[in-house]
Every structure is written in structure tokens, then in C-alpha cells.
Structure 1
């Protein structure tokens, strides 16, 4: 049995924030270049407007020439037409580049989070990952829309500097020599904003993750009566997020105010020098109008620089957070081994040590139903992680048909070994779509190639529904198996969700099925029915039941007790009840 492997992130094994930004820009280089060219054309035309007005005064208004007046008015109209066209299309191209770059980052982050090797989620709440894939990706993408206007600002400065040089060499030199220090100061002023923007995003992501975590466990919190503690926890996270946001906002205000003050002083200096030159007769009235207009125009490029600098500061901070996810080391290696074409399902654990497991030796015969009792929940979770290859044991080996799981690709392992967790989530869609999702199949009648395939699919789904007692759930719902299920199955009761999740695992029909506590939320009669049905449905296929349910364990061919991190006893359920006090205590209390 061989399954198609999921896509993996392989472009850059260790991306940094700088590489994320450069990759984002290079992926949209055509749009960014086009937007930069058009935006530069817009700013150049804007800079030429006061120059044309000055020439119009000297050549048309002062001498009273109607023909010259008409000619220069036409030139002025053409400038406005070009700058209007350029800005409209530059903004469109820049926005498209930003959105496409953010979308590609979101796709890349999604692929990394869904990588079967895992590791991206380590130490992060789900809400934090969502925040990185949305807000941070958007901020990095916006660099693509900011950069063209930064280029446009430089073009505007260059054109205005050349124009001022033609009007007066001192004025042109003042702008040319004064701009680099001003840009350097703008970069220094933007550093606090960059730091505080990163902290703001971290706190916001943590608050989002806390909220998602609390909403997910709302029913449990209410059952335990711990709502006040949960509210206090979220209030603290929210306050920290608010404080970080206020600090970032103050940094943004300080950044913008400081740059505005600097540019205001610089523009005032240019206007003062131009006025003195006009008083001294060095330049004409038209030149003075052009110089003052250019000095006022300079406010635009410097405001653009302030905005671009802020976008770059926020984008760099977000890029580092994006890179932290993309560069997260995988939890397990890919592996180059191969399973046999037909997996028999022979599992062997030799000296397995992982978390609460200290040295598990266990041989699970192929085609048999094996029960595993682990009174310590941590030991059960550690065992499931090793069998599903969510983690590799720190010592010992887990083998499937003689092949070590550590030598296999995680996707191949999970195609052969399906671990159905106790708290498996359901998804939005119909009940039937939830049941058929794990099998990688469409609901009956939808996209099935032949009548034979449809009949086989129908039969498999029906067996899974019957064996898990989900048929009873369907009969209680208004539209049967076509009834819509809300996100995480919240429209169903706990027992109903558990039965649908079990039906999904049975419908997948993997060579090896590992089920963890599948009947804790159902009544005793239903549990007995499910126990008998699982044995029939999984006949000839390897099945592992990690549970303390006597009804399920009674159907197992063999049962193993894991106590103190190792296998303490093996035998039938009846024999262990009679001979082993620890086993009897675990399953009967």
C-alpha cells in the first residue's frame, strides 16, 4: 500500500526574515518594477508642475504673451494627465503585488504547518499560527506595495534636485546633499517602531491563541466550573496585547512626528535660501515661484519616505515571525524506506522510550485485535505519538512489517497506520462527508468512476456507520447523514461526535488502526454493540485499542498492560482480570 505524499516545504531549509522579504519581492518583481516605473513617472510629473508654472510666469504672464500662455497650459494639462494615469495604474499594480505576495506566504505557511513531518506548531497556540499566517503575511506583502512609492519618492527628489540645480546651483546642492542624512535619520527613527511592532504582533498572536484555546474547551471549562480562571487568563493576555499595541502606536506616532518635524525644517531651509537668492536678484520671479513650489513639493516625497519606512519596519518584524515558522525544524525526519506493497500490519516495539514510556517491548500480531491498557494518560499519549510517527522514540525502535517507522516517510506511515485520537475533531460539512473524509473518498455518488466502485464505497460506509452506531445518530438528525455538522462538531453531543469520529476511522479501513478511548461518552448498551461490531468490521486487519473499557478489551485477542512506562503484563482480558491486581484496578475502577 503506497499513498501519495503530501507536499513539503523544501525551497529554503532555514529562511530568515531578510530572506522572506527578498523572496516576497522577487516573486512579484515584474509587478513591483512596473509599479515603480509608473509611480516614479507620477512623482516626476508632480515635481515638474511647479517648474512649468515658473516657466509659464516668466515666458507668458510677465511678457503678456497669449500664445505662450496657451502652449504652457497645454503642457501643464498633459503633465496632469500623465501623472493621473501613472498613479492609478501604479497603485493597482502595487496592491496586486502586495496581495499576491501575502497569498503566496499564506500558502507556504499552510504547507509548512500541514507538513507531515510536523514541528511548525511546537510551542505555538493554533491562534498564534493563524495570526502569523494572516496579519504577519499581510504586513510582509505590503512591502511590495510600499517599495514602488519609495522609488517614486526618490524619483521625485531627483527631478526636483535637477530642476533646482538648473534654477540655482546652491539650491540643488542643498537638496542633493541634505537628503541622504535625512534618510539615514529616518532609518534610525524607525528602529524603535520595528522592535515594538514585533512585540505587538507577538502579544496579539498570543491573545488570539488563548481565545481560540478557551473557546475550543468552553464546554469542559463550564463543566469544571473554571470559567472565572479562564476569563482571568484571557483578560491578562488581552491586557498585555493592548499594552503592546499602545506602545507600538506611540512609537508610530513618534516616528511620524519626528520625520514630519525634520522634513518641515528641511523644506523651510530650502524656501529660506530660495527667498534670499530671489531678493538678491540671482533668480527671477518665475524661478522663485518654481523654487517655492518645489520646496513645498518636497513634503510629498518625505511623507512617502515616512510611510514607506514605517511599512518596512513593520514588514521586517513580521518577516522574522514568518521565518520562525518556516525555519522550524521538523519533529521527525522524512525517511527513505519503503513498506511492502501489501502491508500485513505486524507491529513490533522494542525498548521504546519516549516521554512517559521507559522501555516498551510489545509484539502486535498482524490481523489481530490487541488491547492496550495504560492507566497513566501520559503513557497512552506517548505510545500514540510513536505509533502515528508524530515523534520518534528517544530510544528503541517501532517496526511495521519489519521496517522501522523512523526509516519511513511520515506520510507513508500514516497511510498504513491510522491513529484515531480520543479528541478527534469534526469539520464543517454533512455527517456523511465527515465519515468519508478520512478514506480520501467523495460521498457516494459524487465523483465515483464506476457502479462497482460506488457500490463498494456504499457498503464500506454503511459498515462503518453501523459498527460505530452512527446510524442511530443519523436517524436522530433531521436530514439523516446529510445533516450539516458545524465546526468541530459542536452541533452534536459528545457521544454523537465520538461515534462519527469512530465511523470515520473505520471507513478509512487502513491496514493498521489504532483507536484511543472511542466509547467514553456513550452508554453501556451502545458500547457493547460497538465492541462486537469493531471485531467483525476489522476482521483480518490489525487493530489496536488503547482503552480501559472492559467491553472493548473483552473482544481483544490479546491485552497488554503498560505500567510505569513498560509492559507489565500480557494475556487475555479474562486472565488479566483474575491474575493481575493493577490491571483489575485500571479497568474496573
Structure 2
């Protein structure tokens, strides 16, 4: 057995759902072979008792041979013991395959999600991502778990058929023809089952989306009196999801009933023909008992085969959703021939807005529309491409116009490798999450000294949060940091961004959820902490704007004015309106 999760999950084949399933199987083929062997041995040994009981009757009872009777009883006891051991081994192998496939899928999906970044939110709903992580990986795991059962069932049915054919051609043919006929008879149920399962999964994803939106905006909904309206919508969507689940359940129940009824008819047929053959003297009493035992036992592998069909349907639906996520491509991609970025200490120039971020300074950008600020931050960090592109490099200090990309010391961001852009320019906005685990590793995953941690927490005015947390820096944070208020989360995320120490740090409304006193402290400390390093503040907070070395006023997506905060308040009425609106005036 190999460790779970795998150190390196590999590059998945996501050209189609079945190709992905096949790729998963190839990545864990040794464990699948082992599980198939264990299941085959288990089912093979499980199939021996009817034949052994037949020998007990014929050799021990019919012929009145005590030694033969004891021998075959001992063989039956030994078979039961071996069967118990093999059952545990086969189950362990099957469960291992389940975990192996589920964790591998979780790894590749999480890796893709991390690389997609903001693209994931734009292309796939959060509910669909939740559905992939909560149920689809489970269905795919079940598909690999049933692989050993499928192989064991096929081999067992084939072995029993050979035994019956050698003992009675009529009974053997009845089984050989009857088992495939049962599987084929279930075929018409598979397509509608697949269709209803797909619909149910889509409804679940949509419901998870609504739930996430409601929870995220619960305070706003209560404030505007929309809580009841959204509750009604959620209730209606929930009922539709329930009805879709009931439709799936009906077909699932029909499939399960057929799994019992059709093999039962086969058992009845085998018993009927077997009894007639025994009365005619064509087979012995022991063989009749064995035939009956095999006919009854065949229900198990036949049910396994039909169960695999249902699991395959659910697995295909799950793989379809997984492949959709894995097939997504980032909004921005690496250039075919990346060029090295400029030397450290370069400026950023955004031709779309006209904003220049000068090196080593704290630049604030006040946008009349919040969407313009978000778009600017994404362009400056190349989270989205623009035409013309953002330039990175030298800006002549005496010239009002920034340098163009036709010089060696100025590079367009799309010409640089994405890894270099991400390593030099960092955006921190309010969509970032806090992840579960010790606070120390959440703030600095790659490690940081206590002195650096203390300095970043002080700059973010977050020292009191750590002091109040049981365990301090070693205290545990829950998923998304739900134990913290919105303002506390914002300060911790600011401290985390500061600890990265990027060449260019872009902060989008980093203090929108904190009180004025804390905001003023953050403005003063942030300027000192990032002194001499390039920092961009996208904000309309006067307390932060007043601490900036330079303020850019953007309206309708274009730079309207730049200068000091108080200078712009005096000379730019549009800037004054933007700032005062952001201040609540």
C-alpha cells in the first residue's frame, strides 16, 4: 500500500469523464489489482461451500462413510476460516482504493483551484465547487472501490458456470444465459437514472450557491428587510432539490428491486430444472443441493454487477463535474517566451486608467466607483489582462509621462512569467479567507520569527486579537476564521499580507470593517512598516488617504487628479465628494 494522500498526484487526463476515471485507475493500478485479487479469492472461497456440502451429502451421508464425512466437514470449517480472513483483506483493499481515488481527486481539484485564483469564482459557482469537494469525490471513490467487487463477481460467475456446465449442460446453460440476460434487462433503467442523478446534482449545487450567498449577506439582508424573501426563495429551491432527489430515489428503488427479483427468478428456474434432473437420476442429491446453493449464491455476484452499474452512473456524473473544473483555464496565461522582469524598485504604469505607482512610495487610489478600484488592483497584479497592458520598470523622475515598453528596463506584465509576477506583486482584498489551523502557520505558512510576527501584528493593530485568542499564536483558527468579527478578520489578513514582504503590495479597502480609532492607528503604522517599499492603497478612507505619499483620484475609470490628500480636497470637488461619501458624510 502507498501513503495517502500521494506526495504528487500527477497531471490528470481531463479530456472526458471516462478518461479521467481511467487516469485515476492507472495511477493506483497496483492497489486495484490487489483489491481485485482479494475480492476474487474471497468470492471464490465463498462459492466453495455449496460444492463441499454436496460432497458431504454424497460421500458422507449417502455412502455412510464417517471418515469422508469428517474430512469434508473439516474442509468446510477451514473454508469458512479462510473466507473470514479474505473478507477483511478484501474490504481493506477496497476502502484503500476509495480513499486513494478520493484524496487524489481532492488534490488535483485543489491544485487547479489554487492556480485558477480569481478565475474560478468567475467561471464556476461556489455551490458547484462545494459539491465537487463534498459529494463528487465520494462518488468517484466508490467507483474505484467497486472495481475489485466487479472483477471478483465476473470471475466467480464464470467459475460457477463452468462447474454447472460440467455437471449438467442444461443447468449450466441456464446460468450462463440467465446472468447476462439479467444485466441486460437492467440496461433500460440506467439512462433515466443517469439523467435524474445529473439533475439532482445540479439542484444541489444551485442550493449550495443560494445558501452561501444568504450566509455571506445575512447582515445586509436583515438590514434591508430581505431576509424573508430570500428564505422563501431558498425554501422553494430546497423543495425542488428534494423532489429531484425523490425522483432519483424512485429509480434507485426500482433498480434495487430488480436486483432482487431477477436473480430470484433465476434461482427458481435452477431449482425447478435441478429437481427434475435429480428425479430423473441425471444428477445426485448432493449435486442438487449444490446447484440450489449456487443458484442462491449467484444472487450476490449478480447484485454486485448491477450495483456496479448504478455506481458507474453516479461516478460518471461526478467525473463530469470534476473534469469541468479541471478543464478551466486561467484568464491570464504564461507567455510563450517569458522575459525577465525589471530590476527591483520599478514603477507600475496602468495605461487604461493613467495611474502610475511610483517605487518606494505609499500610493493611495480613491475611486468614485468601487468596481474601478477592484479592476485597477487586478490589472496592476495581472489578475486580469488589459489592452494596453500594465508596464513595470523605470519611470523617468523628471518626466510626467512614464517610460514605454520599448526600453530594456521596462517590461509589460504579460511578457513576464506569471510566477515572477505573483512573487513580486501581491494583492490582498476582502475576498481572501482565513484557513483552519494554528494562527501562527496561518499568518506565516513558510515560518517567521516572533519579532517579525509581532511587528506585522502591531502594524495591523491585531495584537489584541492574538492576546484574546486561547493559545495566542499557537491557538487554533476555525474555517474562515468564523470566531473573529469582520474587523478582526480584516486585521489578521492585513498582517498576513504584510508578512509576505512583497516588492509591491496592493491593499484593497483593508480597513472597511474597523472603527475610526483603529483605522487611524493602522494608517500611521502601515506607512512606517512599509516605508521605502512600494505600496498601493485602494481606498476612500480619509484616515488612510491622509497618510499616503501621493493620492490618485480615479473617476469613470480614468485618472482625474493626483497630489496630496488635503490638496485634492481643496482643489478637486469630485475627489471631495468621493472621499466624503466614503466617510459617511
Distance 2:300 2:444 in 1: 59
Deviation of 1:475 (Å): 6.7
Query: What corresponds to 1:18 in structure 2?
Result: 18
Deviations 1:332-358 (A, max 9, x none): 2134535448521410112x3xxxxxx
The range that moved more, 339-348 or 368-377, is 339-348
Distance 2:413 2:8 in 1: 19
The range that moved more, 99-108 or 278-287, is 278-287
Distance 1:288 1:533, change over 3 A: closer
Query: What corresponds to 1:389 in structure 2?
Result: 382
Where does 1:154-553 land on structure 2 (aligned, <5 Å)? 154-335=154-335, 337=338, 339-340=340-341, 342-350=343-351, 352=352, 360-393=353-386, 395-401=387-393, 402-428=410-436, 435-436=443-444, 440-444=446-450, 458=451, 460-471=452-463, 486-553=478-545
Deviations 1:277-312 (A, max 9, x none): 233333232332222222222212212222222222
The range that moved more, 424-433 or 175-184, is 424-433
* 2:119 counterpart SS class: coil
Structure possessing the higher relative contact order (Cα contacts under 8 Å, 6 or more residues apart): 1
Query: What corresponds to 2:94 in structure 1?
Result: 94
Does the Cα contact within 8 Å between 2:350 and 2:390 map onto a contact in 1?
A: yes
Distance 1:40 1:134 in 2: 31
Distance 1:512 1:9 in 2: 33
RMSD across aligned C-alpha pairs, in angstroms? 2.9
Distance 2:424 2:467 in 1: 32
Distance 2:514 2:217 in 1: 20
The range that moved more, 313-322 or 560-569, is 560-569
User: Which of these residues, 556, 561, 569, is aligned with residue 569 of structure 1?
Assistant: 561
Distance 1:314 1:295 in 2: 29
Where does 1:64-83 land on structure 2 (aligned, <5 Å)? 64-83=64-83
Distance 1:41 1:206 in 2: 44
Deviation of 1:415 (Å): 2.1
Deviation of 1:371 (Å): 2.1
Deviation of 1:49 (Å): 2.1
Query: What corresponds to 2:405 in structure 1?
Result: none
Distance 1:52 1:466, change over 3 A: closer
Query: What corresponds to 2:547 in structure 1?
Result: 555
Query: What corresponds to 1:584 in structure 2?
Result: 576
* 1:567 counterpart SS class: strand
Does the Cα contact within 8 Å between 1:372 and 1:544 map onto a contact in 2?
A: yes
Does the Cα contact within 8 Å between 1:168 and 1:283 map onto a contact in 2?
A: yes
Distance 1:15 1:167, change over 3 A: same
* 1:82 counterpart SS class: helix
Unaligned runs of 5+ in 1: 1-6, 353-359, 445-457
Distance 1:507 1:67, change over 3 A: closer
Query: What corresponds to 2:3 in structure 1?
Result: none
Distance 1:329 1:369 in 2: 34
Query: What corresponds to 1:104 in structure 2?
Result: 104
Query: What corresponds to 1:39 in structure 2?
Result: 39
Deviation of 1:424 (Å): 4.0
The range that moved more, 308-317 or 216-225, is 216-225
Does the Cα contact within 8 Å between 2:44 and 2:156 map onto a contact in 1?
A: yes
Distance 1:476 1:134 in 2: 33
Deviations 1:429-454 (A, max 9, x none): 666665545xx43351xxxxxxxxxx
Distance 2:428 2:13 in 1: 31
Distance 1:486 1:167, change over 3 A: closer
Distance 1:570 1:8 in 2: 50
Deviation of 1:510 (Å): 1.7
Deviation of 1:502 (Å): 2.8
Deviations 1:153-186 (A, max 9, x none): 2222112211211221121122223332322233
So what's the TM-score if we normalise by structure 2? 0.87
Deviation of 1:574 (Å): 3.6
Does the Cα contact within 8 Å between 2:17 and 2:316 map onto a contact in 1?
A: yes
Distance 1:339 1:575, change over 3 A: farther
Distance 1:530 1:154, change over 3 A: closer
* 1:570 counterpart SS class: strand
Does the Cα contact within 8 Å between 1:117 and 1:332 map onto a contact in 2?
A: no
Deviation of 1:8 (Å): 11
Deviation of 1:493 (Å): 3.8
Query: What corresponds to 1:447 in structure 2?
Result: none
Does the Cα contact within 8 Å between 2:179 and 2:302 map onto a contact in 1?
A: no
* 2:229 counterpart SS class: helix
Deviation of 1:382 (Å): 1.4
Distance 2:324 2:359 in 1: 42
Distance 1:36 1:429, change over 3 A: closer
Distance 1:137 1:65, change over 3 A: same
Unaligned runs of 5+ in 2: 1-6, 394-409
So what's the TM-score if we normalise by structure 1? 0.86
Distance 1:529 1:54 in 2: 89
Deviation of 1:553 (Å): 2.3
Query: What corresponds to 1:450 in structure 2?
Result: none
* 2:47 counterpart SS class: helix
The range that moved more, 154-163 or 499-508, is 499-508
